[in-house]
Structure 1
């Protein structure tokens, strides 16, 4: 079985050799752990019980499991997904920074019509892998890192030799934006559960031989071997970016997911996890069933959609605080900003979730 930390792509012979060595070490450690487990039964790990610290007074009702009876569900089909999430034209006219990024890496593309044809081709290939709203609606053009006021600090820290992990990186758009803004690619690690995005990114950016950072595929943040004691990723990163990532997990699991990410973060002052998510202006957030995620069976054996939460400033801060209770001192921040509903493709996205009171939500948890 492949290691969950297998490298998918990297540029340069030395980097490739280093990642292959890391893979062999991970496989060896995995084999030794299995051998040990076969000789004696390992007691089950105690569940992480994350309660809210004193600075946060209550846990929002929106993060609890809904009481409504589950309904039988099936994976969304392409026709339905297209009707809900598909926006035909790439928003390069509304997002000049996106057009500038493509031009930075692809000076061979001389006109906008050629650029649009290329983007449509790449997006269609990505859509055929997963019918994600962010793919159908071009939301990967948002460059979530740049929405944070501390973005210049992030670029500067990578310039100083610190390492940033983009967890759930998709095709690595934010990492490429860092490079275009002056950060060395050698300090950037891209990681995703789905590694079929990566060849598409190299097809688009044509930087397979110049990008000196890392691409790790097949990485499951729920798998302890990714962040556990023997992992090459444990306590490795100064900064971890999770752009539109935390919402992929049920609300009941999100504190544990953040805690898993903390295990990959350096336990030093200033290390931080930051990101973005689609949020709600409602005080306690907004809970719904995700129609774009695979269903699973509940305790009654019924097929149900996973819960999906749009966090508010209140609920996102409570979530971060719960994820690191008892683990030193941290500062948490959540900040919402309005969405321009007339701006394609967010207009279609907002119309689909009209009951949410949709906002952009930026958040950060920084170790003191």
Structure 2
């Protein structure tokens, strides 16, 4: 089978779908305890059954590799260096707004709220609204018990997020009630923090640039506002073939290197000297790769902070 592009606008889900394998279940103690605390399930084996059942529902919505690998139930956000700054801004900056972009089931946002980020200053967005519903099933919550607004939409759709230049001054007028929003456009120039993980690497180089411009326009011009996350990267910038399985031989993913990712934000999105970019590669072992292939995957962990 030929290599398949993983660009959401053209990809056929069946071209990347693999049979689910519970052997990939790899939640650590902290992640299991987090689910126990939210669901009331106390038996680790029952937690596993619950998560596997939810995984099947999420996989039917779209068979992302991170769902295959149970990434939707992990606590990756709290292990990023910028996470403490997210919590600090939530406590110290009046009205600081936090968007979890491409939130999937909302596990990362729920972790931030559990650790103290004000729930009434958080919001989530994803292309697929079904993922947010699955998140309520995973954590046994409702829109009333977890009242974070969810705004479904396509980040490349100008009706959802209008093209805009990078804000140099705060927008006029008050922030609209978050629960009233049906698009991200009213939030341009108003967000203190954006988290965007396992998102940019879904697109080719040009679309990653467009996406960075759109995400950058949402950031508040206040010094210290930042966007952060983690996604696939590599030592050298360029397309990389990722092995998957016998049925799906590989996918092609465009990977930035730390150097090219830093240059993108410092020169193409913001003016030189206007942001601080921190980025590094972390080697991650992938259980889902074919045994005959290298099991090493490079996760690029990064943050872009306005100065």
The answer, yes or no, to whether TM exceeds 0.5 is yes
1:143-162 alignment runs, 5 A limit: 143-160=75-92, 161-162=95-96
1:1-368 alignment runs, 5 A limit: 75=12, 77=14, 81-82=17-18, 86-89=20-23, 91-92=25-26, 94-107=27-40, 109-160=41-92, 161-208=95-142, 209-217=144-152, 219-228=153-162, 231-280=185-234, 282=235, 284-288=236-240, 308-326=253-271, 329-339=274-284, 341=285, 346-349=286-289, 354=294, 358-368=297-307
Contact kept? 1:172, 1:190, Cα under 8 Å: yes
Contact kept? 1:336, 1:362, Cα under 8 Å: yes
Task: Pick 1 or 2: higher relative contact order, CA cutoff 8 A, min separation 6.
Answer: 1
Q: Say if 1:256 and 1:121 are closer, same or farther in 2 by CA, change over 3 A.
A: same
Computed over aligned residues only, the root mean square deviation of the Cα atoms, in angstroms, reads 3.0
| Structure 2 SS opposite 1:123 | helix
Shift of 1:119: 0.8
| Structure 1 SS opposite 2:103 | coil
Shift of 1:352: 8.4
Task: Give the TM-score normalised by structure 1.
Answer: 0.66
Contact kept? 2:82, 2:228, Cα under 8 Å: no
**CA radius of gyration, larger in:** 1
Segments of 5+ residues of structure 2 without an aligned counterpart are: 165-183, 245-249
Contact kept? 1:227, 1:261, Cα under 8 Å: no
| Structure 2 SS opposite 1:332 | strand
Q: Deviations over 1:41-89 (max 9, x none)?
A: xxxxxxxxxxxxxxxxxxxxxxxxxxxxx9xx983537x6225xx4314
Q: Please, which moves more after superposition, 139-148 or 157-166?
A: 139-148
Distance 2:30 2:80 in 1: 15
Q: Say if 1:155 and 1:91 are closer, same or farther in 2 by CA, change over 3 A.
A: farther
Contact kept? 1:226, 1:233, Cα under 8 Å: no
Name the counterpart of 1:43: none
Count of residues paired in the alignment: 272
Contact kept? 1:104, 1:180, Cα under 8 Å: no
Segments of 5+ residues of structure 1 without an aligned counterpart are: 1-69, 293-304
